[in-house]
Amino acid sequence: MTLNKIKQFFIALYLTNSYGLKLKRTDDPKEKKRLRLAYAFDQLKALNIEVRTEHVERLPTEGQYLLVSNHRTIIDPPLIEVVLKDTDIFGLWIAKKELYNSFFFGMFVRNAGCILLDREKSQMAGFFADVKAGVKAGSSIFIFPEGTRNKSDRPVDTFKEGSRIIALKNRLPILPVYIRGNAAEILKEAIDDSAVKREIVVEIGELIDFREKRDLREVYMERFGL
């Protein structure tokens, strides 16, 4: 392990847990959004990664949405937080049980504004009830519909059906976001050597109606010409 990798590990551990404690002290969505954005900026600054948003004119500044994004790296949530920095959109992230219990991410995930997804449960009624309660309280929902990081050669992996159900049950317009390029390789290079400034491009797609009957992955890919 290189010296820079060790340095980045401890920076990330410190930032994740220190912001996790700050987030624990507030229930205000606006304050949580502010803290999540501050964390995102600090984490990306440490990695010397900048975010460039394409088609920012398509990005709503307010309202409630089901934000769907492809998933390549562990820094995808911070990338999206930065993209939304000039909006009033606050979303609850759908987070796997493994993240809730993680030594590294647990403190942050439990307090940042997330909804637990436990795939080991035979019934999902509790999960969908939590989503509905979050939407009723005024939050958007942020989800990676692939379910886990895509490590294949395909630009987008298979979408889980839950995303469409969330949109339909809560009548949420779908806001598609696409993290372009090989973000995983960029992150790896940044961890190895953060002296070089790098850029990750995030593209905003046109909204998808929650009543859209076609396969969500198909429409998503069409939006980004994949």
**Structural domains present in the chain:** 3-223 (3.40.1130)
Collapsed DSSP state (helix, strand, coil) of residue 202: strand
What average pLDDT score do residues 44-70 get?
97
The whole model's pTM is what?
0.94
Give the pLDDT score at 122. 62
- pLDDT beyond 70 at 31: yes
What average pLDDT score do residues 185-204 get?
95
Query: Is residue 106 a contact partner of residue 85, using CB atoms and an 8 Å limit?
Result: no
Strands 198-204 and 174-179: antiparallel
What average pLDDT score do residues 51-66 get?
97
